Chain A
Amino acid sequence: MVEAMPKCWVNILEKLTLDHATAVAASPGLRSVGWLVLKYLVKKLNPKLIAKIYSTSFPVLYETLPSYNPHPAASGVGGIFVNLGMMTEPSVEVHLHNNLLLVTGYQANFHGQREVAEETIRLLKNMGIDFLIALAAHAMNEEDFYIAATKSELVEKYCQVFKAKPYQGPILGFTGLILGEAVISGLDGICILSKTTPNPEFPEHPDYEAAKKLAKALLTLLKIELEPTDLKEVTQREYNSRVHLPSIFPVGLT
Chain B
Amino acid sequence: MPVRFRFVRDVRLDRPCMLVGFPGIGYVAKVALDYLVEKLGAEVFAEVYSHAFPSFVVVRDDGVVEPLKVELYYSCCEGGSFILVTGNAQPITPEGQNELVDAIVAEIRGRYGISRIFAMAAYVVEGRTGEPRVYVAATDASTLNAFAKQGIMPMNGGCITGANGIILSYAKALGIPAACLLSETLAYTYYGYLADVKAAEALVKAITSITGLSIDMSDIEAKAKRFEEMLKRLKEAEESVLRETREKTWRRDLTYIW
A residues sitting closer than 8 Å to B (CB atoms) are 68-70, 72, 110-111, 113-115, 146-152, 155, 159, 166-173, 176-177, 179-184, 189, 191
* Total number of residue pairs linking A and B with CB closer than 8 Å: 86
- Nearest chain-A residue to B91 (Cβ)? A72
B residues sitting closer than 8 Å to A (CB atoms) are 1-2, 6, 47, 49, 51-53, 55-68, 92-93
B47, B51, B55, B63: the one contacting A152 at CB < 8 Å is B63
CA of A176 to CA of B51 in the docked complex: distance in angstroms? Answer: 14
- Nearest chain-A residue to B92 (Cβ)? A72
CA of A223 to CA of B123 in the docked complex: distance in angstroms? Answer: 57
Establish whether residues B64 and A152, one from each chain, have CB atoms under 8 Å apart when the complex forms: yes
Query: Would you give 7 A-B contacts (Cβ < 8 Å), ordered by A?
Result: A110-B55, A111-B1, A114-B53, A148-B59, A170-B59, A177-B56, A180-B57
Establish whether residues B62 and A172, one from each chain, have CB atoms under 8 Å apart when the complex forms: no
**How far apart are B99's CB and chain A's nearest CB, in angstroms?**
13
Establish whether residues B57 and A166, one from each chain, have CB atoms under 8 Å apart when the complex forms: no
- Nearest chain-A residue to B2 (Cβ)? A115
Establish whether residues A152 and B59, one from each chain, have CB atoms under 8 Å apart when the complex forms: no
Report if A150-B49 is in contact (Cβ < 8 Å); known contacts: A113-B55, A177-B57. no
CA of A171 to CA of B47 in the docked complex: distance in angstroms? Answer: 20
A151, A166, A172: the one contacting B56 at CB < 8 Å is A172
B56, B60, B67, B92: the one contacting A173 at CB < 8 Å is B56
Establish whether residues A179 and B61, one from each chain, have CB atoms under 8 Å apart when the complex forms: no
B6, B62, B93: the one contacting A184 at CB < 8 Å is B6
CA of A179 to CA of B93 in the docked complex: distance in angstroms? Answer: 23
Nearest 3 interchain pairs by C-beta: A166-B63, A180-B67, A155-B63
Establish whether residues B92 and A180, one from each chain, have CB atoms under 8 Å apart when the complex forms: no
CA of A181 to CA of B66 in the docked complex: distance in angstroms? Answer: 10
